[in-house]
């Protein structure tokens, strides 16, 4: 073999090695200064809690433990104030388990509050966010299990309040139809990326008339869970009350400001009169907020300028994970 | 140089292979699913027992291999001395004119075991009669009185019935014995004279098994109280029809379960309702449990004894109401197969006096157990030829 062929072989070898290494998963790190993504609380079962398979003998009682990891990967902190206010939705945040026959798998209680957990928001300094684990302990009662094989799917459901804050720059132009004047910005649509929360402000469309500037703010449920009205969060784990259809898909618009100008009072439509609830249809909703451009003194400028449109949303969110377990009873 | 290249290539392949996770065998001891298949008791004649050709006036063996290939025990488990279950029966059948089970009457009368003595005593043949049988058997046929003939016939019939009928106790498949137990039954038969005009006489040996059996189905079913499907969010399970194509380790199989949730007048309650499809998937006949003994005897069976089985179902340990007569309520119910099939409706009425299930509960998986209790019978046969011993 010539020297040239030898080089070829070594080169091919390295190429092969590179292909193999490329197959390995790589952990991505986002060192961007802003928390993005569509996660809020992320829950998962700790491996082997519950186990995939249990084998029990007649007359035996075997422990059954469910441990759920809760991570706050979003940008909204779920840390409790030292003295939470009455009505603080965080008081109704909880994690519950279900899906099994409670006569056979005896776990009490089946829900745990999240309000006193260590769940600060993810941030550039703490990109992984807050983390806590919740344990549900109980027993499988063999004598109550009349079948040899029982395969329930264990569900863990977290219900929690969350918030989305977006602040894209928008153009405020008191004279939108004056084309002769040189302007620093022009009206148009802005598409946004996620904001570190399951509900994202996805688009801001602007439309001008002679005296008004309208912002159409489109929001979308980008997460895998369900949006619940904040006031209905307590129903999530209530044994006597249950979530009805009208409790879902309601997002509270808590603040809209164009710079220092508060637009909340000039927004519509809302799902219910006297509220600021945006209704989502197929996971998507919008609200139109209006700025009166006739009074330049309120805007603070007579020419076009860029300013952040701060949109704040608050809502309840429900996310679920499941795991099938197999319980085998030996005869 | 070539050696070096080969070495490097081999090393790289080794490294790549080492990086792959190996497939590990993960067969658990307790993973064996014993409740599968549609076999119950299996039975076959051993090779040459009976032989295809036998000689007139000679003896020949009849042997059976029996195997409990299902998941239910027949008779109490001899290993675990479990709860006593009803034993099964195997009975041999043949043309009594040409085949018998008592050879030399004199020898037999003087060589009886305890079981035979008890059977004869029950039939009215005491010790004195036994002594006279030895004498009678030596007489020429034309010298026999009617009383002699009657006594001889009773003696032979009692012993034939006793020998031809064998109780069976045999364990079925279990987790640690996933193949089920096997046993052998053997008897010796004797051929009789086939008549002066025949050189050969074809005949058939039958073996009939009658045994109690159970079909047990353990299923996890979804109880979703959201009858109209209005609720949002992920559910632990979804209501669906469950097909069981592989049987439950018994000749009568549950082939399908349909689950429905019946809304109640009281809107806060629902009643789970199951439609259970049954099928006799074996080659035999389903008989009433109480008719097992009769089926393996010379007594006649009524048509009401056939295709009848008992069904008992529980949901989360609570007995379901499977009886079409609403006044009867939960408990074991009789079902009748038509063309080997039937469909039973069972409803969860409630627990501890309450009606149905609270409609506020989220969907959950509950254990459903169905037990079918019945007798089963089938027959196998083998043709043999009795040959005259020709001395010319």
Mean local confidence (pLDDT), A192-217? 90
A155 and A232 in contact (C-beta within 8 Å)? no
**Whole-number pLDDT of residue A87:** 66
> Do the domain assignments include residue A32?
no
pLDDT one-digit tens code per residue, A252-300: 999 999 888 888 999 989 988 889 999 999 999 999 999 887 776 666 7
**Whole-number pLDDT of residue A252:** 94
Judgement on whether residues A155 and A261 belong to the same structural domain of the protein: no
Mean local confidence (pLDDT), A72-86? 74
B218–chain A Cβ distance below 8 A for any pair: yes
**Whole-number pLDDT of residue A31:** 42
Judgement on whether residues A190 and A310 belong to the same structural domain of the protein: yes
Judgement on whether residues A78 and A123 belong to the same structural domain of the protein: yes
Answer yes or no: is pLDDT of A26 > 80.
no
B240–chain A Cβ distance below 8 A for any pair: no
**Whole-number pLDDT of residue A33:** 60
Tally of structural domains, chain A: 2
Confidence of residue A48 (pLDDT cuts 50, 70, 90): very high
Closest CA to B74 of B185, B178, B211: B211
**Whole-number pLDDT of residue A296:** 65
Closest CA to B237 of A257, A322, A143: A322
Judgement on whether residues A193 and A307 belong to the same structural domain of the protein: yes
List CB contacts (< 8 A) between A320 and chain B: 233-234
Judgement on whether residues A180 and A310 belong to the same structural domain of the protein: yes
Judgement on whether residues A264 and A171 belong to the same structural domain of the protein: yes
CATH code, domain with A105: 2.60.40.2310
In chain B, which stretches have pLDDT less than 50?
A: 21-23
**Whole-number pLDDT of residue A28:** 36
**Whole-number pLDDT of residue A85:** 61
Q: How many A/B residue pairs have CB atoms within 8 Å?
A: 103
Angstrom distance (rounded) from CA A198 to CA A79: 18
B232 and A157 in contact (C-beta within 8 Å)? no
Confidence of residue A37 (pLDDT cuts 50, 70, 90): confident
**Whole-number pLDDT of residue A21:** 54
Closest CA to B76 of B87, B68, B66: B87
List CB contacts (< 8 A) between B15 and chain A: 17, 20
Judgement on whether residues A82 and A68 belong to the same structural domain of the protein: yes
**Whole-number pLDDT of residue B179:** 87
Judgement on whether residues A176 and A310 belong to the same structural domain of the protein: yes
| Token duo for residue A294 | 């006739």
Instruction: Sketch the domain layout of chain B as residue ranges.
Output: 41-211+379-387, 214-375
> Do the domain assignments include residue A169?
yes
Judgement on whether residues A88 and A137 belong to the same structural domain of the protein: yes
H runs (alpha helix) in B270-337 = 292-295
**Whole-number pLDDT of residue A27:** 35
> Do the domain assignments include residue A124?
yes
A264: Cβ–Cβ under 8 A, 6 or more apart, which residues? A253, A254, A255, A256, A257, A276, A289
Judgement on whether residues A140 and A174 belong to the same structural domain of the protein: no
Distance between B193 CA and the closest CA of chain A, angstroms: 54
**Whole-number pLDDT of residue A86:** 59
**Whole-number pLDDT of residue A29:** 38
List CB contacts (< 8 A) between A101 and chain B: 316, 364-367
Judgement on whether residues A155 and A222 belong to the same structural domain of the protein: no
Residues of the domain holding A92: 41-162+319-329
Judgement on whether residues A177 and A298 belong to the same structural domain of the protein: yes
Q: Per the CATH hierarchy, to which homologous superfamily does domain B41-211+379-387 belong?
A: Immunoglobulins (2.60.40.10)
Q: What percent of chain A has pLDDT over 90?
A: 44
**Whole-number pLDDT of residue B104:** 79
Distance between B210 CA and the closest CA of chain A, angstroms: 26
């Amino acid at each position: 073999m010539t020297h040239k062929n030898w080089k070829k072989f070594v080169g091919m070898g390295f190429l092969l090695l590179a292909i193999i290494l490329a197959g390995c998963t790589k952990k991505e790190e986002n060192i961007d200064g802003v928390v993005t993504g569509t996660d809020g609380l992320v829950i998962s079962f700790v491996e082997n809690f519950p186990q995939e398979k249990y084998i029990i003998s007649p007359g035996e009682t075997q422990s059954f433990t469910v441990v759920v990891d809760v991570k706050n990967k979003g940008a909204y902190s779920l840390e409790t104030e030292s003295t939470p206010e009455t009505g603080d939705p965080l008081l109704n945040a909880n994690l519950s388990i279900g899906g099994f026959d409670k006569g056979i798998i005896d776990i009490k209680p089946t829900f745990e509050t999240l309000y006193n957990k260590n769940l600060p928001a993810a941030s550039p300094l703490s990109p992984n966010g807050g983390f806590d684990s919740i344990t549900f302990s109980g027993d499988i009662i063999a004598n109550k299990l009349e079948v040899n094989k029982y395969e329930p799917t264990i569900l863990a459901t977290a219900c929690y309040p969350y918030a989305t804050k977006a602040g894209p720059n928008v153009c405020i132009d008191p004279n939108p139809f004056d084309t002769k004047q040189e302007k620093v910005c022009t009206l148009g649509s802005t598409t946004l990326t996620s904001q570190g929360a399951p509900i994202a402000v996805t688009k801001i469309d602007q439309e001008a008339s002679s005296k008004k500037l309208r912002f159409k703010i489109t929001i979308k449920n980008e997460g895998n869970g369900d949006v619940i009205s904040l006031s209905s969060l307590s129903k999530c784990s209530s044994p006597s009350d249950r979530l009805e259809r009208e409790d879902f898909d309601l997002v509270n618009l808590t603040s809209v400001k164009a710079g220092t100008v508060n637009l909340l009072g000039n927004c519509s439509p809302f799902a219910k009169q006297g509220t600021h609830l945006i209704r989502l249809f197929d996971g998507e909703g919008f609200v139109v907020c209006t700025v009166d451009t006739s009074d330049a003194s309120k805007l603070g400028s007579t020419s076009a300028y860029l300013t952040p449109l701060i949109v704040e949303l608050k809502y309840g969110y429900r996310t679920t994970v499941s795991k099938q377990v197999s319980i085998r009873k030996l005869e | 140089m070539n050696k070096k290249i080969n070495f490097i290539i081999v090393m790289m392949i080794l490294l790549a292979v080492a990086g792959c996770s190996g497939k590990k065998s993960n067969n658990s001891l307790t993973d064996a699913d014993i409740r599968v298949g549609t076999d119950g008791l299996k039975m076959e004649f051993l090779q040459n027992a009976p032989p295809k050709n036998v000689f007139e006036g000679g003896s020949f063996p009849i042997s059976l291999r029996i195997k409990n290939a299902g998941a239910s025990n027949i008779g109490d488990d001899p290993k675990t001395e479990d709860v006593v279950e009803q034993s099964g029966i195997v009975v041999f059948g043949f043309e009594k004119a040409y085949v018998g089970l008592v050879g030399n009457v004199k020898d037999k009368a003087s060589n009886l075991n305890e079981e035979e003595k008890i059977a004869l005593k029950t039939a009215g043949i005491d010790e004195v009669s036994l002594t006279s049988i030895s004498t009678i058997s030596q007489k020429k046929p034309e010298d026999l009185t009617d009383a002699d003939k009657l006594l001889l016939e009773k003696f032979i019939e009692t012993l034939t019935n006793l020998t031809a009928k064998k109780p069976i106790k045999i364990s079925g498949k279990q987790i640690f014995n996933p193949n089920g137990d096997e046993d052998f039954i053997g008897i010796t038969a004797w051929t009789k004279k086939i008549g002066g005009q025949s050189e050969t006489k074809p005949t058939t040996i039958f073996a009939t098994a009658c045994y109690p059996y159970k079909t047990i189905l353990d299923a996890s079913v979804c109880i979703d109280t959201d009858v109209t499907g209005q609720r949002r969010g992920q559910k632990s399970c979804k209501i669906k029809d469950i097909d069981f194509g592989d049987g439950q380790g018994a000749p009568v199989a549950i082939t399908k379960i349909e689950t429905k949730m019946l809304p109640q007048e009281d809107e806060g309650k629902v009643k789970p309702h199951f439609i259970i499809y049954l099928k006799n998937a074996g080659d035999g006949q389903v008989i009433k449990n109480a008719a097992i003994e009769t089926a393996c005897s010379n007594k006649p069976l009524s048509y009401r004894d056939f295709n009848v089985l008992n069904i008992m179902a529980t949901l989360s340990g609570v007995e379901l109401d499977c009886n079409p007569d609403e006044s009867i309520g939960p408990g074991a119910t009789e079902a009748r197969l038509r063309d080997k099939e039937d469909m039973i409706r069972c409803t969860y009425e409630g627990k501890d006096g309450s009606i149905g299930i609270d409609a506020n509960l989220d969907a959950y998986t509950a254990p459903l157990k169905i037990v079918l209790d019945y007798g089963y019978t089938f027959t196998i046969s083998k043709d043999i030829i009795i040959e005259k011993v020709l001395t010319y």
